[in-house]
Structure 1
Amino acid sequence: MLPDSPPPAARPRSRSRRRLRAVLLAAASAALVAAALPPPAPVPLGIGDPLFPSLGNPGYDVVAYDIAFTYRGDNTVPLDAVTAIEARVTERLERINLDFSHGTVSAVVVNGLPAEFASAGEDLVVQPLLPLEKGSQARITVEHTSDPRGDEDGWVTTEDGLVMANQADAGHRVFPSNDHPADKAYFTFRITAPSELTAVANGVRTAKLPDGATTTWAYRTRHPMATELAQVAIGDFTVPTREGPGGLPVRDVVPAADAAALEPWLKKTPGQLEWMESKVGPYPFENYGVLIADAETGYELETQTLSLFERRIFVNGTLPEWYVDSVMVHELAHQWFGDSVTPRTWSDLWLNEGHATWYEALYAEEKSGRLMETRLREAYRRSDQWRADGGPPAAPKPPKPDSKISLFRPVMYDGSALVLYALRQTIGGDAFDRLERAWVSEYRDANASTADFTRLAARIAERDLTAFFQSWLYEERTPPMPGHPDWKSTAPAVRPVSQAR
């Protein structure tokens, strides 16, 4: 059939189609230009911690680390290492920043695809082939070295090996990570070392695989852990075991040559565990023990499930037994306060050290007759000077740039234990004891802040404690001690303005 009218003329293109074509051409042109230009230079990032602003990285949450080290028995040679990170992506990422500053990176793979990488400050900046979308999972594998040389924390050398001391911001000197306590994760360690040495790490041993001249040891944590609490120790160690309360596995790690001499100290641990459980409730992890290393760090350290101690405090015979006992309890108490309940920011450190000091002093009182009140009265006398030097407990001054552990000042220890003493004086012993148990129970395996503690204290005490905590945690001068109007604090020395920092 023929049409009864001629076909219509071709219609002109609509304005909308012309506009769409222009947009597409512009987008294509922009893509070509972008491809021709180098990407922006990598920059270090941080999560804005008030004391360590460059630590941590935004955009992801680490679920687990799997870290392999190969140690050749020579502390002058970097270890070969592979760090695999499983993470949840919390915002779209075209680049991934990891904290890492003391090793050489040879390759990075993200979700099975090779990625470009560069160093920026103390960050390793990774450019994956494909952006990581919010809500996705990411697996980041870094082949690198881990260098034990240098005089900063991280790896600590001994006569026959290495131990790890990552507090406060040295974990990223050992392995790539999100090196901030706010991002806790599960850890697996695989350590290959000469067969005549023993390798240990946090958690439970899952494998020991001899292969001629070398042996590979594997350990895994059953609870999440902050990077600053990681521990890997390699050396001529022996590992005596025993039982703690309720059959808790206790494994100590000590120089083989000192095993007999150290046994009187090691056998104290089950009783110390039982004492701590009587105060705050069940031990929060899969095992516990002390790691005694022939190294001089100047401190002892609450690495999770395996507290690090210097050999000299046990064998030199210069420290009274009651004092060494109380130091052992200090690190043990940290397993609850600091390890299981981990601070959200480094400004919350007083919650760690104040509580560990509290139980250290209480143990010395109950077991050795060293009155806590005497110790705290002296601390009160000096507390105004401590606050002037280091800031109030919950608003500490930043550490010295060349000495990060200078954050660990007297105000963080006895100065913060004073806050707990004043709180107990204010709310009563029964409420205080309930608060302590509730704190480690409700925030087990989690992060918690000063604000969390003060809210919980008000809830347990059934009263408004805002004014109390404001004055005790944030003021420049120490408030009057409840129940002790005769306690006085020496006024801090006045420094010339020219010397103020």
Structure 2
Amino acid sequence: MFRSGTFASGAPRARNLRRLRSALLASAVSGCLVAASAPAVPLGVGDRLFPYLGNPGYDVAAYDLSFTYGGSNSEPLQAVTTIDAWTTRPLDTVNLDFTHGEVESVMVDGEPAAFTGAGEDLVITPEDPLGDDEWMRITVRHTSDPTPPPGRDGGWVRTADGLAMANQADVAHTVFPCNDHPSDKALFTIRVTAPSGYTAVANGLPAGVDREGDTLTWTYRTRHPMATELAQVSIGRSTVLHRTGPHDLPVRDVVPTQYREQLEPWLKKTPEQISWMERKVGRYPFETYGLLMADASTGYELETQTLSLFERELFMEPAYPEWYVDSIMVHELAHQWFGDSVSPRAWSDLWLNEGHATWYEALYAEERDGRTLEARMRAAYGVSDRWRASGGPPAAPKVPAPGDKIGIFRPNVYDGGALILYALRQEIGTPAFDRLERAWVSRYRDGVASTGDFVALASETAGRDLSGFLDGWLYGEKTPPMPGHPDWKRQAATTAPAK
């Protein structure tokens, strides 16, 4: 994600974060009450920042999502979510993350199951208990409400002509039932039915379009596992533009039809940007890439897997310099390696996503526009203690304030995370650092990894234990001295509440 707070150079960006305009529906999961002696309770996988996200006891292999859009982006969509998963322990009940929708029915392995809501969980009681290491299929018929969830940013994003998704960090489960934590990645099949005149696009590659009367059903499938927060569905009066990237990679962009010509000068840059990233870290990790230009003001850009979400106005506002827009394009592209292919094991590992994306954003600006990385890192170093006081150390960010779940996306994990990478390169040298970057995205491709995994691989690559060196950079209240730059100074920090 790229937050719209500042230019990379530090100049104010001329846009305010779009605020939710109303609190419409209370979180609702309606249905049968579970007939059980113990009350249903929300569960989680123990994430420090989002304790009720994810659910223990099973591992999702695949999602099959079906949405029916009636032509209004303020009316609930009819939806069916099918989840194939393996149990990892015996289960009398199964918790899914889901809220802000109504459940009509639940089936487990083809049999009706009782269900109820608990917090933001949908708690399901199958007819027969499930054993350990057992395959299960859960089918939930539900609505998917595109109106903003009370007190939340994201989920469905209402555009001028339809809908898009922005599920980071904890709102995929306001769109569809799921195990909503990046540590449980799965394959996705996504089907969207919409009236003629609309175009639907989703993650992965197209797998057919079926017409029935005045509606079309579009199907897409991913070839690589994906975290729920990276799911993307675009429904609108859009044009899909096709071009070819390196190694014959299919590149497709989704744009509002009326702005196609104005956006083309930006879109045609993508293949070269992919080639630039491949020279840095290795081959692009997925089956396709492209930009989704949403006619909406969100206040951020987002690295949804294979189809990054951008605000159209970013590319059409003359106040934004070309180098700045280019660098944001590379930021979201870099996330396809760092954050999408290699996903965080826990949300406290977010700096691995945002620090790396910021790093390659800054390198691109240096190589293409002469905006030196060293100058940016020196400026970041000067204010880094303030970032730590406000948001916590990069690898131990402060818990987000209630009603501000995307508050974890603070400078301490963006330029603060990139500052860790700069210090590491200063410590081990550029050749070893470059080997580490390639090894990271290769070893953990299509998986999840933690800060501890990164420290271990850095030590392995350097041939010496770097845990002592990196500990202060990752977890210290104060920023350590920068190797090779004894003259760099930090400004005094003032403790501030998390925002």
TM-score normalised by length of structure 2 = 0.91
- Matched with 1:225 is 226
Give, in whole Å, the separation in 2 of the partners of 1:500 and 1:288: 35
Give, in whole Å, the separation in 2 of the partners of 1:166 and 1:393: 22
Give, in whole Å, the separation in 2 of the partners of 1:317 and 1:292: 17
SS of the equivalent of 2:486 reads coil
- Matched with 1:5 is none
Distance 1:500-1:266 versus aligned 2 partners, 3 A rule: closer
Does residue 263 of the first structure (1) align with residue 270 of the second (2)? no
Give, in whole Å, the separation in 2 of the partners of 1:186 and 1:500: 35
- Matched with 1:300 is 301
- Matched with 1:8 is none
Distance 1:270-1:38 versus aligned 2 partners, 3 A rule: closer
Give, in whole Å, the separation in 2 of the partners of 1:217 and 1:500: 42
**RCO comparison, higher one (Cα < 8 Å, 6+):** 2
Give, in whole Å, the separation in 2 of the partners of 1:500 and 1:362: 29
SS of the equivalent of 2:358 reads helix
- Matched with 1:216 is 217
Give, in whole Å, the separation in 1 of the partners of 2:312 and 2:160: 12
Residue type at the aligned position of 2:334? A
Give, in whole Å, the separation in 1 of the partners of 2:140 and 2:494: 51
What's the CA shift for 1:173? 0.3
Deviations 1:450-484 (A, max 9, x none): 01100000000001111111111000000000000
- Matched with 1:110 is 108
Partner residue of 2:143 out of 137, 145, 152: 145
Residue type at the aligned position of 2:279? S
Give, in whole Å, the separation in 1 of the partners of 2:494 and 2:36: 56
Residue type at the aligned position of 2:89? E
Computing the radius of gyration from Cα coordinates, the structure with the larger value is 1
Deviations 1:247-273 (A, max 9, x none): 110000011000000000000000000
| Maintained 8 Å contact 2:398/2:498 | no
Give, in whole Å, the separation in 2 of the partners of 1:40 and 1:276: 53
- Matched with 2:50 is 52
What's the CA shift for 1:38? 4.8
Does residue 406 of the first structure (1) align with residue 404 of the second (2)? no
- Matched with 1:179 is 180
- Matched with 1:464 is 465
Deviations 1:200-219 (A, max 9, x none): 00000001112221100000
Residue type at the aligned position of 1:199? A
Give, in whole Å, the separation in 2 of the partners of 1:195 and 1:188: 21
SS of the equivalent of 2:276 reads helix
Deviations 1:258-293 (A, max 9, x none): 000000000000000000000000000000000000
| Maintained 8 Å contact 2:400/2:498 | no
Distance 1:500-1:359 versus aligned 2 partners, 3 A rule: closer
Over the matched positions of the two proteins, sequence identity in percent amounts to: 66
Distance 1:204-1:38 versus aligned 2 partners, 3 A rule: closer
What's the CA shift for 1:393? 0.6
Aligned residues: 462
SS of the equivalent of 1:410 reads coil
Map 1:92-491; keep pairs closer than 5 Å. Answer: 92-150=90-148, 152=152, 153-491=154-492
Unaligned segments of structure 1, at least 5 residues: 1-36
What's the CA shift for 1:494? 5.2
SS of the equivalent of 2:412 reads helix
SS of the equivalent of 2:74 reads coil
- Matched with 2:89 is 91
Segment of structure 1 superposing worse, 189-198 or 150-159:
150-159
What's the CA shift for 1:39? 2.3
Give, in whole Å, the separation in 2 of the partners of 1:431 and 1:77: 54
When you count helix as a share of all residues, which structure comes out higher? 1
Residue type at the aligned position of 1:56? G
Unaligned segments of structure 2, at least 5 residues: 1-34
SS of the equivalent of 1:426 reads helix
TM-score normalised by length of structure 1 = 0.91
- Matched with 1:13 is none
Residue type at the aligned position of 1:96? V
Residue type at the aligned position of 1:110? V
What's the CA shift for 1:161? 0.4
Give, in whole Å, the separation in 2 of the partners of 1:500 and 1:404: 11
Does residue 68 of the first structure (1) align with residue 69 of the second (2)? no
Give, in whole Å, the separation in 2 of the partners of 1:422 and 1:46: 35
Deviations 1:298-321 (A, max 9, x none): 000000000000011101211000
| Runs of 4+ in structure 1 over 3 Å off | none
Residue type at the aligned position of 2:259? D
Give, in whole Å, the separation in 2 of the partners of 1:134 and 1:50: 27
Give, in whole Å, the separation in 2 of the partners of 1:38 and 1:139: 21
Residue type at the aligned position of 2:338? F
Residue type at the aligned position of 1:440? V
SS of the equivalent of 1:239 reads strand
Deviations 1:217-269 (A, max 9, x none): 00000000000000001001101100001111000001100000000000000
Give, in whole Å, the separation in 2 of the partners of 1:173 and 1:180: 13
Segment of structure 1 superposing worse, 86-95 or 143-152:
143-152
Deviations 1:120-156 (A, max 9, x none): 1000000100001001100000000000012531000
